[in-house]
Amino acid sequence: MPVSGLPPYDENNIFARILRGEIPCKKVYEDAFALAFLDIAPQAPTHVLVIPKGPYCSFADFSAFASDADIAGFMRAVGKIAKDLGLEAPGYRLLANMGEHSGQEVPHFHVHLFAGRPLGRMIPG
């Protein structure tokens, strides 16, 4: 269910394969709405990826087409993960890339959760 002008969901993207258990991940949390695992190339001492269980290419798809329950469940999961990992003090950053200019590499909506050091400017460069 892609947003108009964007490619359809690729059932074989790497995060879809992780969701199906075809590729391992270092899982930190799972519930009915979300799976969270460590990023394979961490850019901060804590770098967790949180993905919804449904087939959404990006934030554009997820925000347009996911049910209210799925959006609420996903966002609550992100908050719970950050809290349970003890990141609320001294803080963390959420980031979601969407589309070409953002540098989105994996076409399954995901939120990056960064923490563990001062994170600097919001948009480097």
Q: Are 91 and 69 in contact, with CB atoms under 8 Å apart? A: no
Q: Are 50 and 111 in contact, with CB atoms under 8 Å apart? A: yes
Show Cβ contacts of residue 48 under 8 Å, excluding neighbours closer than 6 positions.
Answer: 28, 36, 37, 38, 39, 81, 85, 112, 113
Closest of 16, 19, 27, 4 to residue 107, by C-alpha = 16
Which CB atom, from 5 or from 24, has the smaller least distance to ligand AMP? 24
Which CB atom, from 48 or from 66, has the smaller least distance to ligand AMP? 48
Which stretches of the chain bind ligand AMP, using CB under 6 A? Answer: 14, 23, 25, 39-41, 49, 97, 103-106
Which CB atom, from 63 or from 104, has the smaller least distance to ligand AMP? 104
CB of 26 to ligand AMP, least distance (A): 8
Q: Are 85 and 46 in contact, with CB atoms under 8 Å apart? A: yes
CB of 24 to ligand AMP, least distance (A): 8
Does the active-site annotation cover 110? yes
Give catalytic residue positions: 110
